[in-house]
């Protein structure tokens, strides 16, 4: 009667659990299907397994010969299961590799530099194949460090060369499909329906027809986890373009269920008989499989994990458990008695444990040989747990921990397999020296990115995880299901473990009890090791998580495990047959159950997952990882989820003061601005940025693309505005909310400059016409005096940002400040020469009484003396050797003829402190020498030499201050920022006066003096054909370099413009820089 009530109660639990699990699984399938179903399908989509060679050549823009080889490869290999398989098609058939490599080696051709014609001649291949081989070689060499390049062989080049270039071909593959949407629909829902039916119908069938009255929790929970695995694999792959791994996993589930039923229906007597009779056969079988794996196994990085297409370690686990269960089950009572707490803990005799120790020693040695320590650690841990559960002694746990620590130290110290890499990743997930050392950091990225709510099933990016379908399957699930979904999986695993321990306690025979203990111990170790590893609590082990991970061997062995536990739990309990359970065993089992709950739900669940997915989720999601790339250089790597969000944000445009485009990524603007429609479409497809005035503003605007040095210039200075976010960490909320109703995608802000595109182009052409005949280096700045608006800022040499490539960028980068990447207009600092006499005169007029009429004898050469405190300084100063002796002259005459002697003397009259402060504070020069140097250079500084430096922008501001009644305006490049971020406002940048460079009276005097320079001074006759009155000052700045020509300067103004021009080593100011200014003004007047 009691047995019938128990069965009815179990049947009710099972029915409710199966129904709940079925509903939950159906909801999961619906969510993930419709999330992935929303993927856009191009209107011109093509089926890769049906397309012709002509269509392939046209759509991928490849040679027809290559397209024909793709079709031939497809026909030979039975079609493609994934669109990306196109990128891996070898350039040459495998059978030709040895002969081609031999020809290349025998020819003594330097294949590092060989061109297409040479490859074709030596290898006797068509030109299109030779061209592709040369292109592949170039791309390969660009990625590798010089040391790795030296070790490359012709055989490697021939074997690794591919038919298609991934960089140019991959964007076009989005138009290709492997299967039709209708096919995906039926495949998925047939599998989903069968799984839900199986989950709902299998448990009652096992009871009613199979006569298996086992534990009611095992089958529903195992099938639920397996269903989660199907949903995860469907989410990980593009169902239209990638392989249908979820189907393969489903087939494994169906086969696993068959094995589960067969194992569950084994009678108790036969199960014990097989275990006892074939005891040593199980052990020898495990050892033999490992020996074969050592001899014939394959795997990445020298780790042997695969044997003839399957992973034998999954079978080895079960075989070892069978051996231990039969051996320990027979000696359980003796072991428990000898190690009982009442007698004081002591080791069993060697006769009891000798064969077990020998077998495990052999097993662990073989695992060291095959260099895969994860399974060895799992088996050893399971062995320790079995001894604990069989003997009831906690002492084995301490022995196991000590031996595990010792083994780990040996493996790390002697660099066995991938274990040292995994330990380094564990210790330093964000920075380590291993090229493959990002796996743990990427797992933490995924957990942090999902956060407490998750991205939603099918809506995350777990596909960017390395091995997201197996090693990191739990992380992939957690990213989409969130903290609650992750805890649900932990609870299911804990329930399976708890039921396994309960089955072991209730087993009526010591062999069944030992088997249940062993199977549960395997499950405990498997779950704790993999979950501890992927969350960063322990090193990664490469062990698969039962049911959730992709892999036939692991899935089938997990169902066998559940089937055997179900069969043990279904064994009828007859009081007369039941073997008594030692109290110590019951106590240890309960303690182990509590320990697993603490570790799995407390430490891993609430502790680590709570930290990474809730408390510090944003922090973990935004950490950079520093590891070496293929070329050996350590670089920062960022969360690809955030980078994907950033790539989706349309970068804002840059406009001039009239609203004309200076830089844009907008498809509509590119189509409007680029006359060649094919070129425009190509720019849009490549997500390229377009710069309409090209080299005219390249150094000012800069470039945005990191591959060519971006962001630089204004693209860098206002990068946060243009890209729509300040830091990548700002995008984590966008990633989580991107699929929620009401989400508004970010948009990059627009930049409105004060630059006038027409004036910028005129200035560039005027500068280039003169500078290109001289040094080819110079700068030209045009301002609006009353506002400080920068109307033009030109630099030579320049570059065309629309044609810049990584190669040409690195060539320019190899140069010094003389290269095109240097912005001379803003960042170039030169001796200002005689143009600084404007500042000297202004300071004298402001601070010296009757300065305009100070008389100084100027007879070609003079010795100028001054003192600072008690120290006396002298300097011999020369006027220009072509000038006559001017005699005693005043400031107007000295300014007109540009006398160095006069202004050197005038500087000493002003005094160093006053002159220094005026230049630095009133006029805003940034490279004024410190006072100690200023004292020594005072006379030279008066006429713009010494250690004084100024930029073209600063000199233009000086001219603008003269034209603007002495008011010094802040140079204004940006008129306004138009932002589109939530909560952000557009920002206007109004003109701003930052000081008074000189009094208005002084400015008026200087206007007349500068006008005299143009009418009858050093610039006389140059501007005669300009309709408006031009005022200016020439400058010829000595460089201090022997044999080098002086820099040519001219600054000036004509309403409403002020300007400054410098040409490096251009000679006299009137002969080069003044000509540039004249030619610029000619276009305006």
pLDDT: which is higher, 340 or 622: 622
CA atoms within 13 A on the CB side of 865: 3
**Confidence check: pLDDT of 266 > 80:** yes
Mean pLDDT of the region 451-456 = 90
Quickly state the pLDDT bin for 778 (edges 50, 70, 90): very high
- 703 and 582 housed in the same domain: no
Bond from prior residue into 265 cis (ω within 30 degrees of 0):
no
Quickly state the pLDDT bin for 608 (edges 50, 70, 90): very high
Lowest mean pLDDT among 289-298, 651-660, 969-978: 289-298
User: What is the rounded CA–CA span in Å between residue 73 and residue 779?
Assistant: 58
- The pLDDT, as a whole number, for residue 299 is 67
Does a structural domain hold residue 66? Answer: no
The total number of structural domains in the chain stands at 3
pLDDT: which is higher, 309 or 945: 945
**Confidence check: pLDDT of 115 > 50:** yes
C-alpha Rg value of the chain to the nearest Å: 40
- The pLDDT, as a whole number, for residue 166 is 82
- The pLDDT, as a whole number, for residue 311 is 78
SS3 1034: strand
CB of 709 closer than 8 Å to CB of 813: yes
Other beta carbons less than 10 A from residue 41's beta carbon: 12
pLDDT: which is higher, 539 or 575: 539
Q: What are the pLDDT digits (tens) for 715-757?
A: 999 999 999 898 888 899 889 888 888 888 889 999 999 999 9
Does a structural domain hold residue 1076? Answer: no
Bond from prior residue into 430 cis (ω within 30 degrees of 0):
no
Residue with tokens 């160095």: 900
Helices 218-236 and 2-37: crossing angle, nearest 10°? 10
Mean pLDDT of the region 115-128 = 87
Percent of the chain scoring above 90 in pLDDT: 48
Residue with tokens 């970068």: 651
- 586 and 667 housed in the same domain: no
User: What is the rounded CA–CA span in Å between residue 933 and residue 646?
Assistant: 49
Does a structural domain hold residue 910? Answer: yes
CB of 120 closer than 8 Å to CB of 107: no
Mean pLDDT of the region 661-665 = 95
The domain that holds 750 is classified in CATH as 3.90.1310.10
- 610 and 471 housed in the same domain: yes
Quickly state the pLDDT bin for 346 (edges 50, 70, 90): low
- The two tokens of residue 484 are 């609650």
Mean pLDDT of the region 404-424 = 77
Q: What are the pLDDT digits (tens) for 195-218?
A: 999 988 888 887 776 566 778 899
pLDDT: which is higher, 1053 or 238: 1053
Q: How far is CA 371 from CA 287, 308, 401, 407, in A?
A: 16, 18, 21, 13
Domain finish residue from 890, 921, 950: 950
Judge residue 345's burial from the number of C-beta atoms within 10 Å of its C-beta, 0-12 exposed, 13-18 middle, 19 or more buried. Answer: middle
pTM to 2 decimal places: 0.83
DSSP 462: G
- The pLDDT, as a whole number, for residue 698 is 93
- The two tokens of residue 542 are 């490469």
Domain finish residue from 754, 789, 824: 824
- 560 and 519 housed in the same domain: yes
Other beta carbons less than 10 A from residue 296's beta carbon: 11
- The pLDDT, as a whole number, for residue 754 is 96
Does a structural domain hold residue 1022? Answer: no
Mean pLDDT of the region 13-18 = 85
Does a structural domain hold residue 229? Answer: yes
- 540 and 472 housed in the same domain: yes
**Confidence check: pLDDT of 367 > 80:** no
- 590 and 668 housed in the same domain: no
Does a structural domain hold residue 280? Answer: yes
CB of 751 closer than 8 Å to CB of 974: yes
- 318 and 395 housed in the same domain: yes
Does a structural domain hold residue 613? Answer: yes
Other beta carbons less than 10 A from residue 613's beta carbon: 29
- Name residue 976's beta-bridge partners: 752, 988
CA-wise closest residue to 217 among 590, 566, 513:
566
Q: What are the pLDDT digits (tens) for 64-94?
A: 888 888 888 888 888 888 888 888 889 888 8
Q: Which helix (H) or strand (E) holds 586?
A: helix 583-597
Percent of the chain scoring above 70 in pLDDT: 91
Q: How far is CA 231 from CA 225, 255, 256, 295, 545, in A?
A: 10, 18, 17, 37, 15
Mean pLDDT of the region 125-141 = 85
- 385 and 513 housed in the same domain: yes
- 811 and 866 housed in the same domain: no
Domain finish residue from 920, 950, 980: 950
pLDDT: which is higher, 390 or 710: 710
CA-wise closest residue to 65 among 150, 135, 107, 126:
126
Q: Which residues form the domain of 748?
A: 634-773+797-824
**Confidence check: pLDDT of 567 > 70:** yes
Cβ neighbours for 206, distance < 8 A, ≥ 6 positions apart: 212, 214, 219, 261, 264, 566
Mean pLDDT of the region 232-248 = 89
SS3 487: helix
User: What is the rounded CA–CA span in Å between residue 428 and residue 881?
Assistant: 69
Q: How far is CA 259 from CA 319, 366, 558, 560, 668, in A?
A: 16, 29, 10, 6, 60
- 234 and 302 housed in the same domain: yes
CB of 216 closer than 8 Å to CB of 14: yes
- The pLDDT, as a whole number, for residue 360 is 63
Whole-number average pLDDT of the chain = 87
- 192 and 302 housed in the same domain: yes
Bond from prior residue into 212 cis (ω within 30 degrees of 0):
no
- 888 and 931 housed in the same domain: yes
Q: Give Cα 134 to chain centroid, integer Å.
A: 28
DSSP 830: B
Does a structural domain hold residue 552? Answer: yes
CA-wise closest residue to 748 among 724, 730, 731:
724
Mean pLDDT of the region 248-253 = 92
Q: What are the φ/ψ torsions at residue 202 (nearest 5 degrees)?
A: -65, -50
**Confidence check: pLDDT of 817 > 80:** no
Judge residue 338's burial from the number of C-beta atoms within 10 Å of its C-beta, 0-12 exposed, 13-18 middle, 19 or more buried. Answer: middle
- The pLDDT, as a whole number, for residue 741 is 85
The domain that holds 869 is classified in CATH as 3.40.710.10
| Per-range mean pLDDT, top range of 102-116, 326-340, 978-992 | 102-116
User: What is the rounded CA–CA span in Å between residue 820 and residue 709?
Assistant: 12
Q: What are the pLDDT digits (tens) for 891-913?
A: 999 999 999 999 999 999 999 99
Q: Give Cα 300 to chain centroid, integer Å.
A: 24
Q: What is the distance between the terminal CA atoms of the chain, rounded to a whole angstrom?
A: 113
Q: What are the pLDDT digits (tens) for 515-525?
A: 999 999 999 99
- The two tokens of residue 35 are 């999330």
User: What is the rounded CA–CA span in Å between residue 134 and residue 116?
Assistant: 6
């Amino acid at each position: 009667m009691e047995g019938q009530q128990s069965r009815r109660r179990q049947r009710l639990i099972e029915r409710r659990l199966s129904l709940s699990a079925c509903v939950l699984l159906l909801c999961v399938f619906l969510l993930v299907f419709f999330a992935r179903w929303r993927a856009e399908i191009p209107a011109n989509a093509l089926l890769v397994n049906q397309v012709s060679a002509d269509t392939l050549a046209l759509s991928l823009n490849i040679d027809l010969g290559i397209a024909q080889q793709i079709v031939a490869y497809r026909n030979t290999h039975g079609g493609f299961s994934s669109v990306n398989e196109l990128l891996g098609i070898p350039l040459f058939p495998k059978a030709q590799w040895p002969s081609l490599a031999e020809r290349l080696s025998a020819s003594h051709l330097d294949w590092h530099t060989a061109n297409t014609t040479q490859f074709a001649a030596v290898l006797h291949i068509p030109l299109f194949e030779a061209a592709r081989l040369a292109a592949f070689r170039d791309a390969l060499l660009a990625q590798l460090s010089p040391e790795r390049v030296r070790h490359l062989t012709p055989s490697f080049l021939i074997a690794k060369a591919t038919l298609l270039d991934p960089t140019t071909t991959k964007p076009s593959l989005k138009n290709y499909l492997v299967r039709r949407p209708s096919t995906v629909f039926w495949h998925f829902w047939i599998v989903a329906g069968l799984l839900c039916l199986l989950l709902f119908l299998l448990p009652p069938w096992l009871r009613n027809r199979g006569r298996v009255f086992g534990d009611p929790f095992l089958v529903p929970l195992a099938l639920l986890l397996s269903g989660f695995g199907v949903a995860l694999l469907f989410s990980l792959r593009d169902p239209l373009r990638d392989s249908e791994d979820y189907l393969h996993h489903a087939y494994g589930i169906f086969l696993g269920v068959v094995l589960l039923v067969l194992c569950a229906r084994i009678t108790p007597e036969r199960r014990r008989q097989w275990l006892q009779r074939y005891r040593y056969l199980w052990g020898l079988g495990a050892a033999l499989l490992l020996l074969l794996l050592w001899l014939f196994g394959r795997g990445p990085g020298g780790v042997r994990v695969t044997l003839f297409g399957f992973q034998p370690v999954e079978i080895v686990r079960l075989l070892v458990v069978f051996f231990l269960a039969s051996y320990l089950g027979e000696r359980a009572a003796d072991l428990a008695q000898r190690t009982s707490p009442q007698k004081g803990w002591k080791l069993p005799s060697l006769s009891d444990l000798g064969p077990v120790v020998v077998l495990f020693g052999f097993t662990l040695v073989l695992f060291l040989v095959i260099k895969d320590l994860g399974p060895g650690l799992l088996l050893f841990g399971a062995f320790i747990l079995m001894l604990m559960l069989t003997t009831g002694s906690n002492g084995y746990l301490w022995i196991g921990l000590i031996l595990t620590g010792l083994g780990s130290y040996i493996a790390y110290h002697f660099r066995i397999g991938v274990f040292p890499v995994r330990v380094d990743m564990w210790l330093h997930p964000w920075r380590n020296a291993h090229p493959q050392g990002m796996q743990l950091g990427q797992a933490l990225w995924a957990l942090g990115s999902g956060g407490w709510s998750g991205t939603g099933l099918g809506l995350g990016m777990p596909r960017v995880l390395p091995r997201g379908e197996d090693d990191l399957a739990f992380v992939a699930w957690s990213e989409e299901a969130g903290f609650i979904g992750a805890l649900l999986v932990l609870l299911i695993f804990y329930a399976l473990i708890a039921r396994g321990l309960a089955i072991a306690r209730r087993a009526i025979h010591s062999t069944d009890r030992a088997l249940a203990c062993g199977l549960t111990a395997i499950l405990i170790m498997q779950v704790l090791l993999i979950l501890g590893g992927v969350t960063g609590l322990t090193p990664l082990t490469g062990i698969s998580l039962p049911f959730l991970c992709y892999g036939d061997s692991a899935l089938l062995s997990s169902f066998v495990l559940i089937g055997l536990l179900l069969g043990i739990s279904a064994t009828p309990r007859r009081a007369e047959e039941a073997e008594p359970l030692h109290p110590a065993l019951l106590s240890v089992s309960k303690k182990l159950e509590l320990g697993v709950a603490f570790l799995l739900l407390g430490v891993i669940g609430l502790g680590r997952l709570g930290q990474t997915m809730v408390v510090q989720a944003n922090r973990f999601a935004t950490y950079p990882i520093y590891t070496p790339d293929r070329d050996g250089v350590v670089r920062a790597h960022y969360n690809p989820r955030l980078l994907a969000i950033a790539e989706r944000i349309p970068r804002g445009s840059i406009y001039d003061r009239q609203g004309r485009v200076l830089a844009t990524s907008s498809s509509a603007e590119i189509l409007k601005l680029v006359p060649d429609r094919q070129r425009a479409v190509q720019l849009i497809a490549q997500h390229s940025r377009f710069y309409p005035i090209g080299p005219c503003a390249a150094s000012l605007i800069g470039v945005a693309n990191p591959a060519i040095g971006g962001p630089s210039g204004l693209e860098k200075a206002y990068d946060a505005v243009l890209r729509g976010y300040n830091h990548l960490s700002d995008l984590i909320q966008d990633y989580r909310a991107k699929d929620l109703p009401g989400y508004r995608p970010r948009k990059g802000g627009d930049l409105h400059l004060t630059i006038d595109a027409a004036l910028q182009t005129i200035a560039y052409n005027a500068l280039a016409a003169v500078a290109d005949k001289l040094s080819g280096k110079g700068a030209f700045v045009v301002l609006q005096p009353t506002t400080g608006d920068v109307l033009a800022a030109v630099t030579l040499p320049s570059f065309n940002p629309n044609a810049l490539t990584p190669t040409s960028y690195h060539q320019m980068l190899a140069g010094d400040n003389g290269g095109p990447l240097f912005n001379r207009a803003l960042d170039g600092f030169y001796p200002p020469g005689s143009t600084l006499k404007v500042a000297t005169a202004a300071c004298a007029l402001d601070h010296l009484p009757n300065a305009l009429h100070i008389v100084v004898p100027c007879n070609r050469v003079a010795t100028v003396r001054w003192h600072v405190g008690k120290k006396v300084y002298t300097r011999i100063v020369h006027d220009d050797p072509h000038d006559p002796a001017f005699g005693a002259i005043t400031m107007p005459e000295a300014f007109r003829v540009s006398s160095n002697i006069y202004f050197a003397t005038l500087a000493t009259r002003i005094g160093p402190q006053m002159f220094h402060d005026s230049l630095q504070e009133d006029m805003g020069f940034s490279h004024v020498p410190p006072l100690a140097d200023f004292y020594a250079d005072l006379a030279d500084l008066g006429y713009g030499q010494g250690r004084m430096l100024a930029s073209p922008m600063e000199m233009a501001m000086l001219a603008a201050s003269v034209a603007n009644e002495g008011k010094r305006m802040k140079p204004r490049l940006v008129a306004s920022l138009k932002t589109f971020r939530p909560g952000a406002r557009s920002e206007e940048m109004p003109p701003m006066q930052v000081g008074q460079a000189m009094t208005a009276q002084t400015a008026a005097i200087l206007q007349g003096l500068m006008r005299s320079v143009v009418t009858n001074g050093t610039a006389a006759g140059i501007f005669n054909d300009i309709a408006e009155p031009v005022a200016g000052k020439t400058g010829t700045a000595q460089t201090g370099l022997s044999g080098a020509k002086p820099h040519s300067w001219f600054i000036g103004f004509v309403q409403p413009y002020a300007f400054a021009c410098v040409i490096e080593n251009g000679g006299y100011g009137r002969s080069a820089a003044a000509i540039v200014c004249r030619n610029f003004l000619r276009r305006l007047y």
